[in-house]
Amino acid sequence: MAYLDHAATTPMLPEAVEALTAHLGVTGNASSLHAAGRRARRTVEEARETLAEALGARPSEIVFTSGGTEADNLAVKGLYWARRDADPARTRVLASPVEHHAVLDAVDWLATHEGATVEYLPVDAYGRVHPDALREAVARNPDDVALATVMWANNEIGTILPVAELAAVAAEFGVPLHSDAVQAFGQVPVDFAASGLAAMTVSGHKIGGPYGIGALVLGREHTPVPVLHGGGQERHVRSGTLDVPAIASFAVAGRVASEERERFALEIGRLRDDLVAAVLDAVPDAVLGGDPAPGGRLPANAHFTFPGCEGDSLLLLLDAQGIECSTGSACTAGVAQPSHVLLATGTDPDLARGTLRFSLGHTSTDADVKALAKAIGPAVERARAAGLS
Amino acid sequence: MTDTPQRTRPLRVLAAMSGGVDSAVAAARAAEAGHDVTGVHLALSANPQSFRTGARGCCTIEDSRDARRAADVIGIPFYVWDLADRFREDVVEDFVAEYEAGRTPNPCLRCNEKIKFAALLDKALALGFDAVCTGHYAKVILREDGTRELHRASDMAKDQSYVLGVLDDRQLAHAMFPLGDTVTTKEEIRAEAERRGLAVAKKPDSHDICFIADGDTQGFLAKRLGKAEGDIVDESGARIGTHDGAYGFTIGQRKGLRIGTPAPDGKPRYVLDISPVDNTVTVGPAASLDVGSLTAIKPRWCGAAPAGPGTYTAQLRAHGDETPVTAELVGEELRVRFTEPVRGVAPGQAVVLYDGTRVVGSATIAATERATADVA
């Protein structure tokens, strides 16, 4: 088996499993006042501090959520509502068109139900938003912008976006910028304080932590209107009993992601380069997606377009060989749609159907790359014969 | 002569799984027979409904999930393939165009011809599969000379060879129908599904037209073709009513004519003819529906085209009875003469010729001729 889909989810780190299981048997609601509650609370707060340190944030800026999707929704909807409440003129939302659906669909929902005007920022062929594009969009009328949201690194094509520069532009106009850093955390340096962001999303299961836990890193001056109302946990921004085992485990994974990042990025980057070379060797007309410059993309990401192939066909053929990857596009009822990311970067819609994303992780080995190198040529040949239906 | 593909060497089989009980049991039987089976659900609607309503269709996300769960239980890989564009072009648009031209299409047959055993089969073969497996009730028999025959299912009551009659030798060579040998009630298929742990065992049968979710074909056509008021006339040409679009009628139809005045003889009237050119529907007594012969186009043969006239039985619609005929290929047209007059033959439907249980061929009915005394 060659698991090459770590960007979808990566195996839990042994130490994260240990932390999770250790706390599963311990009773205590972190909001309770007695000893058991205090014990749980202590675990949560220690985890919060660990995670804050890993992300260059203050502990009070970590708001635990059920994952990346919830954190994105809280940031986008919550900041929109709060900013509009403060000034009804602020109804414009600026977003990159290459965002994950957790952001895109939240933004669309605001347009459909909350009177938002959504403006998608232009991107280059690598899916990158340039600071000047944001400046132009904001400067047109700074007073009506509720928020801007631009991801730190793209989940499909791996391009890293200039978040700090974008945040600086937004800050000039007093516009809060949110960034989905789910894919960036653990692969590129992520420092919340240095970034100048208003809010930032991270997720547990993408960095070797458990599913169902994530966080919105939220600058202290920002108070989004809650999406979930209830007991008032997490700065009254995100109610719900805290998942102590998942939080403890997430923090362990977060610490490793931060401490090991440099070594991991170097090693995984080399392996990724081998993978890219092997694929291009077997399929000379394959096109590498995203920024080809090593510093411009996630070190664990390789994304290809195979002209004349259907991504679905390739996935089936590789799956049958024990090689697991992704077409990198959104799924509705299991039906692959041409990726909105590729369409936004100006890729021809037919070409956009023939894509595969290979993403590496902490368990990836040279053998995985060798298995792919062996299988990809014949698979592409077959898929090409099957053509586009 | 009795060998079927499913009893030969293990094959790489692509099982089309609608989410219904028949295709699930068919896939399970193929896997049990030792074949290397991969399940595929065809997404045929660009905007699938989330949930199935009533007992119709197989194009919802719920059906896709049912198919996936069946594949899980059988223990085979499962994927969803998007053939919505092809389905829209080759089946839905064809359906609308046929009605617009005053004919009565059979979209299931068209789907087998153009989608399941064309688009899907071609893709499957290119990807290295040997056969496509479906839950149809029909039999493929491999003859000693290597050719294949399509036969009615062992259970005549469930036989679906009519909608498979359009398949040619090449298509049949790669078709697998594991349910064809089954003489059993639907309850027994459901029991088999239950025994195999397939949750679709209790799922209602799908029928009607899968892409018309609410079953309202008239409404669907009206939406697509617009309202086009025209006259309903009797056989003498006298105007006796109006309609909202000639496309909405089928030869032999009795209900829904909305003619205020009864026929002079008080007998029910039926649709005799649909003329899209002048948007006129002709009605008349049942006796005028009697057809003595027909001409059919686009013949397809399971095996070699018969030389000279032959005596066969013919089926003229899905679930229709057999009727004895003589048939002859004249140029590209099939001329079919009924031994006894038949009623309600609708252009656009297929005429499928049988020799016993064997499907000889199929063609699309283009025109019918009234029965006359010398024919009967």
- In this prediction, residues B219-245 reach a mean pLDDT of 88
Does one domain contain both A187 and A300? Answer: no
Q: Which of A203, A231, A259 is the last residue of a domain?
A: A259
Does one domain contain both A366 and A239? Answer: no
Report the interhelical angle of A35-55 vs A244-259 (nearest 10°): 30
- In this prediction, residues A361-367 reach a mean pLDDT of 98
- In this prediction, residues B31-60 reach a mean pLDDT of 72
Is it the case that residue A321 has pLDDT exceeding 80?
yes
Residues of chain B contacting residue A336, judged by C-beta atoms under 8 Å apart: 82
The tokens of A252 are what? Answer: 């362990």
Rounded mean pLDDT of chain B?
87
Does one domain contain both A71 and A129? Answer: yes
Instruction: Please tell me the total count of domains within chain A.
Output: 2
How confident is the model at residue B54, as a pLDDT?
A: 45
How confident is the model at residue B49, as a pLDDT?
A: 56
Burial class (CB in 10 A: 0-12, 13-18, 19+), B246: buried
Among A54-63, A213-222, B136-145, name the one with the lowest average pLDDT: B136-145
How confident is the model at residue B213, as a pLDDT?
A: 77
Active site annotation includes B210: yes
Residues of chain A contacting residue B119, judged by C-beta atoms under 8 Å apart: 389
How confident is the model at residue B3, as a pLDDT?
A: 45
Does one domain contain both A264 and A237? Answer: no
Q: Which of A206, A225, A259 is the last residue of a domain?
A: A259
- In this prediction, residues A190-212 reach a mean pLDDT of 98
Model confidence at B45, in pLDDT bands (50, 70, 90)? confident
Does one domain contain both A215 and A236? Answer: yes
- In this prediction, residues B310-331 reach a mean pLDDT of 92
- In this prediction, residues A292-321 reach a mean pLDDT of 95
Note the Cα B107 to chain centre separation in Å. 6
Does one domain contain both A237 and A298? Answer: no
ipTM for the whole complex: 0.87
Does one domain contain both A131 and A264? Answer: no
CA distance B362 to B314: 9
Report the share of chain A in percent with pLDDT over 70.
98
Does one domain contain both A194 and A70? Answer: yes
Does one domain contain both A224 and A278? Answer: no
How confident is the model at residue B222, as a pLDDT?
A: 87
Return the bridge partners of B16, or none.
B40
How confident is the model at residue B8, as a pLDDT?
A: 60
CA distance A312 to chain B (A): 8
- Residue B95's identity, in one-letter code, is F
What CATH number did the domain enclosing A115 receive? 3.40.640.10
With an 8 Å Cβ cutoff, are A334 and B79 in contact? Answer: yes
Model confidence at B173, in pLDDT bands (50, 70, 90)? very high
CA distance A308 to B41: 23
Residue B207 burial (CB count, 10 A): 11
Q: Say how many Å lie between the first and final Cα of chain B, rounded.
A: 38
**Is B132 marked within a binding site?**
no
Does one domain contain both A238 and A273? Answer: no
What CATH number did the domain enclosing A369 receive? 3.90.1150.10
| All structural domains of chain B | 5-202 (3.40.50.620), 227-288 (2.30.30), 290-370 (2.40.30.10)
Does one domain contain both A348 and A239? Answer: no
How confident is the model at residue B306, as a pLDDT?
A: 85
Question: Does residue A10 or residue B44 have the better pLDDT?
Answer: A10
Report the share of chain A in percent with pLDDT over 90.
94
Domain that holds residue A197: 14-259
How confident is the model at residue A384, as a pLDDT?
A: 95
- In this prediction, residues B359-370 reach a mean pLDDT of 93
pTM: 0.88
How confident is the model at residue B59, as a pLDDT?
A: 55
- Condensed to tens digits (0 to 9), the pLDDT of residues A125-161 reads 999 999 999 999 999 999 999 999 999 999 999 999 9
What residue of B is the nearest CA neighbor of A311?
B81
Candidate ranges A67-81, A349-363, B141-155; pick with highest mean pLDDT: A67-81
Q: Say how many Å lie between the first and final Cα of chain A, rounded.
A: 29
Q: Which of A227, A259, A291 is the last residue of a domain?
A: A259
**Which one of A316, A321, A329, A335 makes the best mutation probe of the B interface by having the most chain B beta carbons within 10 Å?**
A335
- In this prediction, residues A38-45 reach a mean pLDDT of 98
**Is B135 marked within a binding site?**
yes
CB neighbours of A381 closer than 8 A, spacing ≥ 6? Answer: none
How confident is the model at residue B215, as a pLDDT?
A: 81
Does one domain contain both A199 and A270? Answer: no
